[in-house]
Amino acid sequence: MVTTRRIGKYQVGRTIGEGTFAKVKFAQNLENGNSVAIKIMAKSTILKHRMVDQIRREISIMKIVRHPNIVRLHEVLASRTKIYIILEFVSGGELFDKIVHQGRLPENLCRKYFQQLIDAVAHCHSKGVYHRDLKPENLLLDFHGNLKVSDFGLSALPQQGVGLLHTTCGTPNYVAPEVLGQQGYDGAAADIWSCGVILYVIMAGFLPFDEVDLPTLYKKTNAAAFSCPIWFSPGAKSLIQKILDPNPNTRIDINDIRKHPWFHKNYVPIKHREHEDVDLDDVHAVFDDIKEKYVAENSETLEGSPLMMNAFEMITLSQGLNLSPLFDRGLDHVKRQTRFVSRKPAQVVISSIEDVGKSMGLKVHTLNFKTRIEGISANKAGQLAVVLEMFEVAPSLFMVDVRKAAGDTLEFHKFYKDLCSKLEHIILKPAEHLASASLLRTMTC
Q: What is the pLDDT of residues 25-57, one digit of tens each?
A: 889 999 998 999 898 888 877 777 677 777 777
**pLDDT tier for residue 327 given thresholds of 50, 70 and 90:** very low
The reported pLDDT for the residue numbered 283 is 64
Region 177-188: mean pLDDT is 76
Region 408-418: mean pLDDT is 82
pLDDT of 293 > 50? The answer is no
Region 169-176: mean pLDDT is 71
Contacts of 24 (CB under 8 A, 6+ apart): 15, 16, 17, 18, 37, 38, 39, 40, 87
The reported pLDDT for the residue numbered 262 is 96
Query: By the 8 A CB rule, do 249 and 39 touch?
Result: no
Better pLDDT: 429 or 238: 238
pLDDT of 10 > 60? The answer is yes
**pLDDT tier for residue 161 given thresholds of 50, 70 and 90:** very low
- Rounding to the nearest 10 degrees, give the CA dihedral for residues 193, 199, 204, 208: 0
The reported pLDDT for the residue numbered 399 is 84
**pLDDT tier for residue 64 given thresholds of 50, 70 and 90:** confident
What is this structure's pTM? 0.67
Highest mean pLDDT pick, 6-20, 109-123, 337-351, 389-403: 109-123
The reported pLDDT for the residue numbered 158 is 44
Q: Which amino acid does the sequence have at 341?
A: V
The reported pLDDT for the residue numbered 252 is 95
DSSP string, 37-76: EEEEEEHHHHHHTT-HHHHHHHHHHHHH---TTBPPEEEE
What 3-state class would DSSP assign to 299?
Answer: strand
Q: What is the torsional sign of CA 335, 83, 385, 204?
A: positive
**pLDDT tier for residue 62 given thresholds of 50, 70 and 90:** confident
The reported pLDDT for the residue numbered 261 is 95
Q: Which CATH entry fits the domain spanning 306-444: 3.30.930.10, 3.30.70.250, 3.30.310.80, 3.40.50.970?
A: 3.30.310.80
**Lowest mean pLDDT across 130-139, 269-278, 282-291, 383-392:** 282-291
> Is 2-89+289-301 assigned to CATH 3.30.200.20?
yes
**pLDDT tier for residue 204 given thresholds of 50, 70 and 90:** very high
48 in a labelled binding site: yes
Indicate where the chain has its CATH 3.30.200.20 domain(s). Answer: 2-89+289-301
pLDDT of 236 > 90? The answer is yes
The β-bridge partners of 42 are 82
Better pLDDT: 141 or 432: 141
Q: Which of 432, 415, 445 is nearest to 326 (CA)?
A: 432
Measured in residues, the chain has a length of 445
pLDDT of 397 > 60? The answer is yes
Indicate where the chain has its CATH 1.10.510.10 domain(s). Answer: 95-150+158-259
**Lowest mean pLDDT across 233-237, 298-302, 315-319, 434-438:** 315-319
Q: How far apart, in whole angstroms, are the C-alpha atoms of residue 411 and residue 312?
A: 31
Q: How far apart, in whole angstroms, are the C-alpha atoms of residue 242 and residue 111?
A: 16
**Lowest mean pLDDT across 9-18, 63-72, 206-215, 278-287:** 278-287
The reported pLDDT for the residue numbered 193 is 93
**pLDDT tier for residue 198 given thresholds of 50, 70 and 90:** very high
Residues designated as active site: 133
User: Could you count the other beta carbons within 10 Å of the beta carbon of residue 294?
Assistant: 16
- Rounding to the nearest 10 degrees, give the CA dihedral for residues 141, 143, 145, 149: -30
Indicate where the chain has its CATH 3.30.310.80 domain(s). Answer: 306-444
**pLDDT tier for residue 169 given thresholds of 50, 70 and 90:** very low
Per DSSP, which regions of 234-382 are E strands? Answer: 297-302, 307-308, 338-342, 363-367, 370-376
CATH dotted code for 95-150+158-259? 1.10.510.10
Highest mean pLDDT pick, 85-94, 148-157, 198-207: 198-207
Q: How far is CA 101 from CA 98, 105, 208, 273, 433, in A?
A: 5, 10, 19, 36, 21
User: Could you count the other beta carbons within 10 Å of the beta carbon of residue 304?
Assistant: 8
Region 314-333: mean pLDDT is 40
Chain-centroid distance of CA 1 in Å reads 29
Q: What is the torsional sign of CA 226, 232, 234, 235?
A: negative
Beta-sheet pairing, 307-308 with 383-394:
parallel
